[in-house]
Amino acid sequence: MKSNRGFTLVELVTVIIILGILSVMAAPRFIDLRGDAQASVMKGLQASLKFVVEAVSYQSAIQGTDRERAVTTTVNGVDIQTYYGYPQEIWDDKLEHLMAGDFYFMGNAYQDNGLFEEVCPQTICVVEQIKLSTLFADGTAGYALAFLPKGYSLRNNCSVAYYFTAYPSDGYAKVFVKTIDGGC
């Protein structure tokens, strides 16, 4: 006759303790909530920026400045410098008024290459005139305006970049608003 013997209470408690220790050690490797939250914030900022860029573009078309280079377009009482209907990639607080945000301007990367390494000290920071070749390894020419979250530098690959490619002979520009979230 066989005896049905189960696990003792001590054995069950030991297994539960070991599983608890393993899960505490392994969970942070599989769950990166901070990075996901930062990436979500950047995607929200990207949507807000796209909305403002499109609003400027529509107003530029209405005002007849969408085929001109380096002209002023008025949007909700704010004068924006535009190139072929899109805001220039320079931060002069005018986009901030349209985006209804509180941004910290870190500086002009065209004049200060050290800004690529500087860490954002506020909630959302802005760096203007960044060479696209430093943001993207594909050799893209031009300049960008970038937004980055607190605690990150441009080197971290956690930002929203706004840039455009102008086609002066055809009188238009192609606009890009990209979230770079590989390092969030």
Q: What is the pLDDT of residues 7-17, one digit of tens each?
A: 788 887 888 88
pTM attached to this predicted model: 0.77
Q: What is the pLDDT of residue 29?
A: 65
Which span out of 34-48, 54-68, 88-102, 129-143 was modeled with the highest average pLDDT? 54-68
159-167: strand order across its sheet: 104-108, 124-131, 143-149, 159-167, 172-180
Contact 181/48 with Cβ under 8 angstroms? no
Residue 32 CA, chain-centre distance (Å), reads 18
What residue spans of 31-65 are helical by DSSP H? Answer: 33-63
The Cα–Cα gap between 54 and 17 comes to: 56
* Phi, psi (deg, nearest 5) at residue 156: -75, -10
3-class SS at 176?
strand
pLDDT digits (tens, 9 = 90+) for 145-160: 999 999 999 989 899 9
Two structure tokens written together for 180 = 């770079």
According to DSSP, the β-strands at 78-83 and 159-167 are unpaired
pLDDT digits (tens, 9 = 90+) for 63-72: 999 999 889 9
The Cα–Cα gap between 164 and 159 comes to: 16
The Cα–Cα gap between 156 and 182 comes to: 8
